[in-house]
Amino acid sequence: MTTSAGIAPSPLRSQPLRGNRLPAWSFFAVAVAVFAVTAGAFAVTKLSGTVDYFVLAVAAYVVIQSAVAWAVEGRRHAKDRFATLLVGVAFLVALVPLVGIVGYTIHRGLTRFDVTFLTHSMRNVAEQDPNGGAYHAIIGTVEQVAIATIIAVPFGVFVAIYLVEYSRGKFGQLVSFIVDVMTGLPSIVAGLFIYALWILDLHQGYSGLAGSLALVILMLPTIVRTSEEMLKLVPDSLREGSYALGVPKWRTIVRVVLPTALPGVVTGVMLAIARVFGETAPVLLVIGTSASINYNPFSGSQGSLPVFIYNEAQQANATAITRAWAGALTLIAIVMLLNIVARFIARFARVRG
């Protein structure tokens, strides 16, 4: 082309619209072949071990499948296949511990996960006795976490509302910074703090409430952070739409901003609850431990599930170890149940205004 305003010829070649694609069955075929060949290699060479086999076979599969794709489909598709396979493998690897833990806990826990276990305490039950249960611990943990949630949720959400809707300046940044620092607070420190303040300085006794206070410290940063992020995601145009109707700011927050952010806030609260449900250290420090039922979270030691598991697992006795697994299963089941309930709450709260 000549000078001036002439458009330079494009360096891009026009691409054909059609090309070879791998059929779906070929992936299965390649996988079977690679796994079989690897098995053969393990049989005839010095290679051995199940883990080694899977690592090698999966790696070989990713490489060979990509190579096959390159040969048949071309370079761009091969890169796409390779990335897709990596993502898939990462997903499966991440799934292994999750499924493993839940599966193994169910497997071990089901032996003792029965009506007796859910309705009886450990009062007058020796470690080798086959009966006994976690009722006292379930009551304790549920009460402690419930009290902690009742205190932490409004506090946390209010702090988040303050940070997003009201603070403009240094003080807000300071609060934000402190919350960040608190996120990394080890749970034992929270327990020690309540122990020093509540039990030693204020001369309060061991109680479920003391444990709840320690849990509040652990829940707050999670709730504040997630709520803050969710409130920030609410578009300003919604706030403006509300103001333009003459709705005051506080009502805009209550009726428009919070409901819009609600599903995310509920998720944050659930994360916080799930985190503290299994906290052992602070609970052990300020609640103590009890083998009998204590319905009153405001006075005296109470049982709790994490401490129950900890105690039972320490016994050198198979029946006690079984109880520990049943306790672990109970813990996981309660957290899952709560998650399901929270999802329903979030969904139903969304429909109406």
Partner 1 sequence: MAKRIDVSGLNVFYSKFLAVQDVSIAIEPRTVTALIGPSGCGKSTFLRTLNRMHEVIPRARVEGKVMLDGEDIYAADVDPVNVRRTIGMVFQKPNPFPTMSIYDNVVAGLRLQRRWKEAELDTIVERSLRSANLWAEVEDRLGKPGAGLSGGQQQRLCIARAIAVEPQVLLMDEPCSALDPISTLAIEDLIGELKERYTIVIVTHNMQQAARVSDRTGFFNLAGVGQPGRLIEYDDTERIFTNPNEKKTEEYITGRFG
Which spans of this chain sit near partner 1 (rule: CB under 8 A)?
168, 235-248, 251, 255-256, 259-260, 262, 350-353
Closest to partner 1 by CB, 127 vs 229, is 229
Structure tokens, 45: 């060479």
How far is Cα 252 from Cα 164, in angstroms, rounded to an integer? 13
Integer angstrom CA distances of residue 36 from 44, 56, 67, 187: 13, 12, 18, 49
Backbone angles phi, psi at 111, to 5 degrees: -55, -40
How far is Cα 260 from Cα 349, in angstroms, rounded to an integer? 10
Closest to partner 1 by CB, 213 vs 257, is 257
- Rounded to the nearest whole angstrom, what is the least distance from the CB of residue 152 to partner 1 in the complex? 24
SS (H, E, C) 231-266: HHHCCHHHHHHHHCCCCCHHHHHHHHHHHHHHHHHH
How far is Cα 137 from Cα 163, in angstroms, rounded to an integer? 37
- Rounded to the nearest whole angstrom, what is the least distance from the CB of residue 242 to partner 1 in the complex? 7
How far is Cα 270 from Cα 194, in angstroms, rounded to an integer? 23
Closest to partner 1 by CB, 184 vs 353, is 353
- Rounded to the nearest whole angstrom, what is the least distance from the CB of residue 241 to partner 1 in the complex? 4
Integer angstrom CA distances of residue 239 from 249, 263, 313: 8, 18, 53
- Rounded to the nearest whole angstrom, what is the least distance from the CB of residue 156 to partner 1 in the complex? 21
- Rounded to the nearest whole angstrom, what is the least distance from the CB of residue 249 to partner 1 in the complex? 8
Distance, CA of 298 to chain centre: 29
- Rounded to the nearest whole angstrom, what is the least distance from the CB of residue 256 to partner 1 in the complex? 5
Residue type, 280: T
**Contact at 8 Å (CB) between 249 and 231?**
no
Closest to partner 1 by CB, 73 vs 229, is 229
Closest to partner 1 by CB, 1 vs 244, is 244
Closest to partner 1 by CB, 16 vs 169, is 169
- Rounded to the nearest whole angstrom, what is the least distance from the CB of residue 226 to partner 1 in the complex? 18
Residues in contact with 236: Cβ distance below 8 Å, sequence separation at least 6, in sequence order: none
Closest to partner 1 by CB, 147 vs 265, is 265
- Rounded to the nearest whole angstrom, what is the least distance from the CB of residue 178 to partner 1 in the complex? 23
Closest to partner 1 by CB, 4 vs 237, is 237
Structure tokens, 279: 């906290």
